[in-house]
């Protein structure tokens, strides 16, 4: 037959499946359960492909197919059970929580490890429901006892040559990690502390697990436990962080450090110090973020100073990113502003790029308290990295802030004159936004001086044949 190329299709089409009865479904599931994925004559799949059709049908009628799945046995190909579990967890699926609980109990009784991955997901749409203890225990057993993770593969060198990958990216894709995160979601939605009390005795065992990847997921569970079982959560936290430094740089652990620090800053202080001195670049970067947060929000001024003045550019990059994104709501805007002013003039481009995120962080916010900071940004070496986002942020500004937009336009003209007409450059794209900003400034400002400067800048854009400016001006004249 030679080499053939085509799409592997389901043995039963979606159109035909729409008219199948429950008995016909059970017969088809029994027939297509070999796992063989092609025939000699046509590219026809088997269980995996038909399971995709079943999943699509289940999303349309979750109650019906959740009930059908109660007829599955240990001999049923696991692809079909997984299809139903995935479908009932879909946001668009309409199903009574009790039907989900019955489904989970049934799948648990089948004792098929191949179905463990999606068990917890089926609860995600019912986190606020009255979930029975035995259903929570089903998920807990997967978090404690699953054997799907043999090694922490995240430690292998990544394809791009970086020394390691994020442990969390592996952990969240394991049965244990996935189940643990679902348990954390359940605790975040714990209305009266009952769920937290049920799980508190297991926190320590989960926190001391041998896998760093899974521990990163346990951090989410510990965060959820802080409200009702704080003592047990803090004890588990101490066990959790007694591990490879790289665990501390995962997103759930970073959030956990913030959550713990809000109540006990003295506990996270030495851990942040540890991160700042880590041999791993990613850990130092997250450490810089946390040091800035601790200084601005937890009263640990020494850590903010350590992050801002660190000789390590990676640490300062992390601190700059945090200050840029927290400025609009931090309780210590003065210190965040002072730090950003220093970062705007940093020698390292990536540090300036992190500080440039302030243009995004202030979008939609009242810019009046930050006019001096933005004026410094416009005059600094950081403007090229911030320009595109700053233009979006300045949209809609009027009155006294219109002058700020004008200064931005004038700096752009002074530094990007040679690039404005070349569509291969980012300056060409920015020039149209600059033109819109100038036209709005001209039409809105009551000050003749500002209007005159705006017209001069528009003339210069036309003179330099900035990309799109002719069309923009013509449209304004009409």
Q: Which helix (H) or strand (E) holds 352?
A: helix 349-355
Phi and psi for 370 in degrees, rounded to 5?
-115, 15
C-alpha–C-alpha distance, residues 340 and 17, integer Å: 60
Average pLDDT, stretch 227-243? 97
Where are the domains positioned within the chain?
Answer: 1-110, 127-145+166-263, 270-381, 395-478
**What was the pLDDT predicted at 416?**
77
Residues in the chain: 478
The pair of three-digit structure tokens given for residue 473, joined into one six-digit string: 């001006």
C-alpha–C-alpha distance, residues 123 and 89, integer Å: 7
Q: Which helix (H) or strand (E) holds 427?
A: helix 426-444
C-alpha–C-alpha distance, residues 225 and 418, integer Å: 58
C-alpha–C-alpha distance, residues 420 and 131, integer Å: 61
C-alpha–C-alpha distance, residues 317 and 314, integer Å: 5
User: Which residues partner with 9 through β-bridges?
Assistant: 44
Average pLDDT, stretch 309-333? 97
Q: What is the DSSP string of 83-141?
A: HHHHHHTSTT----HHHHHHHHHHHHHHT-GGGSTTTGGGGGGGTTS---HHHHHHHHH
How far is the CA of 195 from the CAs of 204, 255, 295, in angstroms? 16, 21, 34
Are 285 and 294 within 8 A, CB to CB?
no
Sign of CA dihedral 127, 132, 133, 138: negative
Question: What's the pTM?
Answer: 0.87
pLDDT-derived band at 11, boundaries 50, 70, 90: confident
Are 360 and 393 within 8 A, CB to CB?
yes
C-alpha torsion angle, residues 315, 320, 321, 322 (rounded to 10): 90
Rg of the chain over CA atoms, in angstroms?
29
Are 415 and 379 within 8 A, CB to CB?
no
The least confident of 49-63, 164-178, 347-361, 442-456 is: 442-456
Phi and psi for 62 in degrees, rounded to 5?
-65, -40
* Whole-number percent of the chain with pLDDT over 90: 67
Q: What's the pLDDT tens digit per position in 249-265?
A: 999 999 999 999 999 99
C-alpha–C-alpha distance, residues 314 and 351, integer Å: 8
Are 344 and 309 within 8 A, CB to CB?
no
Give the residue from 81, 13, 22 showing the smallest Cα distance to 45: 13
Judge whether residue 89 has pLDDT over 80: yes
**What was the pLDDT predicted at 37?**
55
**What was the pLDDT predicted at 297?**
97
C-alpha–C-alpha distance, residues 473 and 431, integer Å: 12
**What was the pLDDT predicted at 164?**
61
C-alpha–C-alpha distance, residues 386 and 366, integer Å: 18
Judge whether residue 42 has pLDDT over 70: no
C-alpha–C-alpha distance, residues 101 and 175, integer Å: 19
């Amino acid at each position: 037959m030679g080499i053939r190329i085509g799409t592997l299709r389901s043995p039963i089409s979606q159109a035909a499946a729409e008219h199948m009865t429950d008995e016909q479904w059970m017969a088809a599931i029994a027939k297509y359960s070999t796992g063989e994925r092609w025939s000699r004559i046509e590219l026809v799949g088997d269980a995996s492909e038909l399971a995709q059709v079943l999943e699509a049908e289940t999303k349309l009628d979750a109650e019906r197919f959740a009930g059908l799945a109660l007829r599955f046995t240990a001999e049923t190909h696991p692809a079909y059970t997984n299809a139903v579990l995935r479908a009932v967890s879909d946001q668009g699926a309409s199903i009574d929580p009790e039907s989900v609980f019955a489904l989970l109990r049934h799948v648990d009784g089948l004792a098929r490890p191949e179905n463990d991955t999606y068990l917890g997901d089926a609860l995600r749409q019912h986190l606020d429901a009255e979930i029975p203890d035995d259903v929570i225990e089903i998920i807990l057993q997967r978090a404690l006892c699953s054997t799907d993770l043999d090694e922490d593969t995240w430690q292998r060198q990544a394809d791009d040559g970086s020394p390691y990958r994020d442990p969390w990216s592996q952990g969240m894709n394991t049965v244990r990690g996935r189940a643990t995160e679902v348990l954390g979601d359940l605790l975040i939605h714990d209305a009266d502390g009952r769920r937290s009390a049920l799980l508190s005795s297991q926190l320590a065992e989960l926190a001391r697990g041998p896998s760093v990847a899974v521990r990163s997921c346990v951090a989410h569970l510990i965060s959820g436990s802080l409200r009702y079982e704080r003592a047990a959560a803090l004890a588990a936290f101490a066990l959790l962080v007694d591990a490879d430094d790289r665990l501390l740089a995962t997103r759930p652990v970073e959030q956990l450090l913030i959550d713990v620090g809000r109540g006990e800053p003295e506990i996270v202080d030495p851990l942040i110090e540890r991160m700042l001195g880590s041999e791993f670049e990613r850990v130092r970067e997250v450490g810089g973020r946390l040091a800035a947060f601790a200084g601005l929000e937890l009263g640990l001024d020494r850590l903010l100073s350590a992050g801002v003045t660190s000789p390590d550019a990676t640490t300062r990059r992390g601190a700059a990113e945090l200050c840029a994104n927290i400025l609009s709501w931090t309780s210590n805007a003065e210190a965040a502003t002072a730090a950003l002013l220093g970062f705007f003039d940093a020698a390292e481009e990536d540090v300036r790029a992190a500080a440039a995120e302030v243009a995004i962080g202030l979008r939609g916010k009242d810019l009046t308290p930050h006019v001096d900071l933005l004026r410094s940004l416009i005059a600094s070496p950081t403007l090229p990295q911030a320009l595109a986002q700053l233009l979006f942020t300045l949209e809609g500004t009027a009155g006294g802030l219109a002058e700020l937009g004008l200064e931005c336009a004038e700096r752009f003209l002074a530094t990007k004159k040679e690039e404005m007409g070349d569509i291969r450059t980012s300056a060409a794209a920015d020039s149209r936004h600059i033109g819109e900003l100038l036209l709005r400034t001209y039409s809105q400002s009551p000050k003749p001086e500002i209007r005159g400067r705006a017209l001069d800048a528009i003339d210069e854009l036309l003179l330099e044949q900035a990309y799109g400016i002719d069309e923009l001006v013509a449209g304004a004249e009409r």
